[in-house]
Amino acid sequence: MKKQISFAAIGLAAAMAVPAFAGPGLADGAAKFVGNITQSNTAPGPNDTYTKLWNQATAENGCKWGSIEGTRGRYNWAGCDAAYNWAKNNGGHFKFHALLWGSQYPSWLESLSVDDTKKAITAWFDAVKQHYPDLEMIDVANEAIRTGNGQYHSNYTKTKIIQAMGGDNNGDYAFLTTAFKMARERWPKAILIYNDYNTIQWNVDQGINLINTIRKNGAPVDGYGLQAHDLMSQGGGANGTGGGGACLAYSTFKSTMEKIHSQTNNFPIFISEYDIPTTDDNVQEQCIKEQFSYWFEDPYVAGITFWGYIYGQTWLNCNNTANGCSGLIKNGQDRKAMTWLRNYLKSNKGVNTTGLAGGTVVDPEPQTPYGGKAAAIPGKIEAENFDVPGKGVNADGTSNQSYSVANSGNGNSDYRKNESPNLYKGATGVVIGYNNNDNWYEYTVEVAETGTYTMYAAVASGAGGAFTLSMDGKAITESISVPAAVGGTDVFTEYNKVSADVNLTAGKHILRLTVAKEYFDIDYMTFVKKGEADPEPLSSSSNDVPTTTTSSSSGTTPDVAGSSSSAVMAIGVSLDYEFETLQAFDVFDVNGMFMGRLRAYSFNQAIETVKYSDVKFANGTYYVRNKDTKQMQSFRIAK
C-alpha cells in the first residue's frame, strides 16, 4: 500500500505547540522567523529599528560571490559580516545568500575554462566555509529553473558553471545536485535551500519539477525558497520584477501553495524575498494581510523574509513610477501594511512543523476515510466524500494529503466548506467541479474479494474531459473519456455514465481519481462485479434535464438554472422557439453586476428560468443578454 491507513479519530498532535525564541523583532516567541535584508557594511544595533522589527537577516548583496571576490583570490566580507554579526549579537537567524548563482558572480568567471571554473567554485565554497564555519541557513543555488532553448532563470550559460558542476542532462539538474553535495560536505548541520523567482504565479510547475528532480537525484536539499516577488496581478516577468495592479487572486494564491505542498510531499518552504510593490497603501495592506497570514499559519512554511522595508530603499520602482515603492515604512511612518503586521504579530504565533529554523516536527498522521469508514467495493462512492487529509510526511517521503487541486474557492455548496476541492450543488446532491488537469482525489476503500469489477461514473462536461484511476499508486485504468455536452460547451448539467473494467485485490486500499483532461464535474462512482448491470442507470431524460445548479467547470460562468426550472427543463412542450439552437444568456443586475449564465431557446424562456430558479434573486430589475447577438432585455422580480 502507498500509505498507512488508520480508521480511528486522531487527536491534535502535541507537537503543534510553538517554541519561544529569545530574540529580537516582532516575531519573537513565534513559531517561525520574520526577517528582512541588510543593505550596508554596518550591522544594525540592538536599539535600531531593524532589530525591533525583524529576527532574521539576509544580506541583500553583501554575501553574493561577485560582492565578496570581485578580484580572484581577494575577499571582502564586510557586507556579509554585517548581517552575520547582527544575528550573532542579537539572537537572530542568518541566511547566507548565495553560493551558486547565474548572476552577480565575479566578472572574471566568464573567461575561465571548465576546469578552472570548477577550481574557482571549489575555492569559493572553501573560503566561505573558512570564514563562516557555523552557518545556519544557506541559499546553495539560486535561479536555475530551465526556461527553454537551453536557458535558465539567470545567466548560467554565460559561464562554464553548469559544465564544471556535472552538466544538465535533459533537465536532470546534475550541476545543482553537485552544488548541494559540496555544501553538505562543508556544512553538515546547515539548512540547505534552493531559491528561485516566479514560482507562485508563472513557473509553478517548473519549480516543483526542479525540486523533485534534484531530491530524487540525491541532492541533500532541506528547503525550497519561494522569492514571492510575483504576487500581484502585474507581478512576475523578467527576474520576478514588476508588480502593480491588484493582489494575486486569493483563491489562486491559496490553491497554488496547496499544489506546491501536495506535489512536493509537504517539503519545507521558505518565503525568501517577499515584497508588494505599490504606491497604493490599501492594496499593499490587502495583499500582505492575505498572503502573510496564510504563510504564518501554514505548517510547512519555515520562515518569511521581506525584501526591504524602507520606502525609497527597496529594489522595485513600480514600473518606473516610484523608487523603492515596496517599502513598508515611508518618511518614518508606518504604511497601513506595516501597522497591520505589528498588530498581527502581537497576537499570532503561527505554526511551523518543518523542524527547521526553530520549528517543531509533527508526527505523521495518516489520511482517514470521510465518515470514519472505508467505502465498500462493490458499492457506491460519492465523489465529494474524498478522504480527510492527514498531517506530516511519512518515513518513505510520501505525504498524507488526500487531494490536490489547482484552484479552490469556486464551489457553491457548504458541504465540507473548509476543504479546498470545488464542491457544487448538483446532480444527485453535491458534485466535484472546476477540475483542472492533474487535480486528484483519494478514497480509502475496502474491496470485498479479489476479482474484476466494472466502475460506472456519473459525469458531465461542456467540452469533454478525461480521468484515470489508480490503486495504491498503481494505474488500474487507462484514460477514461468524459463526453461533451450536446447542449454546448457552457453546459455542465448533462450527465452521462462512463465505465471501465478494473482488476482489484481484496482488502483496504487507497483509490485515486486523477484529472487527465479538464474540465468536467463528477457526481459519484459505482463499482459492481463484472457482468452486473449498473444499479443506477441514467434515464434518457436525465441527460437532457439538469436536476439542480451545477458548476461551470471552466470557472468563468456560474449556471443560474435551478432544479425545477433549468434552461433545458423549461422547454416543456409549448415553448416559443425564438432561436433554432440553444443560446447562452448572461444575467446582470441593475448595476451591471454579472450574476451568471444560462442556456435557453428564447428571451422569455431565459427570463422565466431566472424568475423561478432555485437561486433566489432579490427583488429588482435585471437584464438578460444573448452572449452571441448582444441583444438585451430587462425584466423585474417582485415577490
Region 335-361 average pLDDT: 90
Per-residue pLDDT reduced to its tens digit, 421-447: 989 988 889 999 989 888 899 999 999
Q: Is the dihedral of CA 222, 228, 229, 230 positive or negative?
A: positive
- The DSSP element (H or E) to which 334 belongs, if any, is strand 333-334
CB 154 within 8 A of CB 142: yes
Q: Please tell me whether residue 594 adopts helix, strand or coil conformation.
A: strand
Region 259-275 average pLDDT: 93
The CATH topology of domain 108-140+148-347 is TIM Barrel (3.20.20)
Distance CA(295)–CA(344), nearest Å, equals 13
Residue 478 known to be catalytic: no
For residue 244, the number of C-alpha atoms closer than 13 Å in the C-beta half-sphere is 12
CB 198 within 8 A of CB 211: no
- 484's CB contacts (< 8 A; 6+ apart) are 461, 462, 463, 464
Distance CA(103)–CA(124), nearest Å, equals 15
Q: Which residues pair with 58 in a beta bridge?
A: 37, 95
Q: Retrieve residue 375's grid coordinates.
A: 467505502
Whole-Å CA distances, 171 to 148, 176, 336, 440 = 10, 11, 44, 26
Region 19-25 average pLDDT: 57
- The answer, yes or no, to whether residue 56 has pLDDT greater than 60, is yes
The whole-number pLDDT of residue 396 equals 66
The whole-number pLDDT of residue 360 equals 67
The whole-number pLDDT of residue 395 equals 67
Q: What is the largest CA-CA distance in the chain?
A: 90
**Superfamily of domain 370-529 in the CATH hierarchy:** Galactose-binding domain-like (2.60.120.260)
Residue 110 known to be catalytic: no
Whole-Å CA distances, 187 to 32, 121, 125, 135, 541 = 22, 16, 10, 7, 69
370-529: same fold as 108-140+148-347?
A: no
Single out the residue of 216, 156, 222, 132 nearest to residue 184, CA to CA. 222
Q: What angle do CA 317, 322, 326 make, to 5 degrees?
A: 55
Which entry of 69, 136, 143, 518 is annotated as an active-site residue?
A: 143
Distance CA(226)–CA(153), nearest Å, equals 14
- The answer, yes or no, to whether residue 66 has pLDDT greater than 50, is yes
Per-residue pLDDT reduced to its tens digit, 282-304: 999 999 999 999 999 999 999 99
Distance CA(250)–CA(233), nearest Å, equals 11
- The answer, yes or no, to whether residue 243 has pLDDT greater than 70, is no
- 123's CB contacts (< 8 A; 6+ apart) are 73
More confident residue, 172 or 575: 172
Q: Where are the domains of the chain?
A: 108-140+148-347, 370-529, 569-637
Q: Retrieve residue 188's grid coordinates.
A: 553538515
What percent of the chain is predicted at pLDDT more than 70?
A: 85
Torsion on CA atoms 567, 569, 570, 575, rounded to nearest 10: 110
- Would you place residue 585 in the very low, low, confident or very high pLDDT band (cuts 50, 70, 90)? confident
The whole-number pLDDT of residue 568 equals 27
- Would you place residue 579 in the very low, low, confident or very high pLDDT band (cuts 50, 70, 90)? low
- The answer, yes or no, to whether residue 188 has pLDDT greater than 70, is yes
The whole-number pLDDT of residue 600 equals 72
Q: Please tell me whether residue 217 adopts helix, strand or coil conformation.
A: coil
Single out the residue of 419, 414, 374, 382 nearest to residue 521, CA to CA. 382
The whole-number pLDDT of residue 328 equals 97
Q: Retrieve residue 566's grid coordinates.
A: 433549468
Provide DSSP, 44-72: PPTTSHHHHH-SEEEESSTTSHHHH-SBT
β-strand 480-482 against 465-471: which pairing, if any?
antiparallel
Single out the residue of 496, 498, 484, 495 nearest to residue 454, CA to CA. 498
The whole-number pLDDT of residue 540 equals 45
What percent of the chain is predicted at pLDDT more than 90?
A: 62
Least confident of 67-76, 234-243, 554-563: 554-563
Whole-Å CA distances, 461 to 484, 486, 490 = 5, 10, 8
Least confident of 94-108, 116-130, 156-170, 243-257: 243-257
The whole-number pLDDT of residue 361 equals 63
- The answer, yes or no, to whether residue 388 has pLDDT greater than 90, is yes
Per-residue pLDDT reduced to its tens digit, 502-556: 999 999 999 999 999 999 999 999 999 999 999 998 864 344 333 333 333 344 4
What does the chain come to in residues?
Answer: 639
380 alpha-carbon distance from chain centroid: 31
CB 442 within 8 A of CB 485: no
Least confident of 49-58, 460-469, 573-582, 619-628: 573-582
The whole-number pLDDT of residue 4 equals 38
Which entry of 60, 258, 273, 442 is annotated as an active-site residue?
A: 273
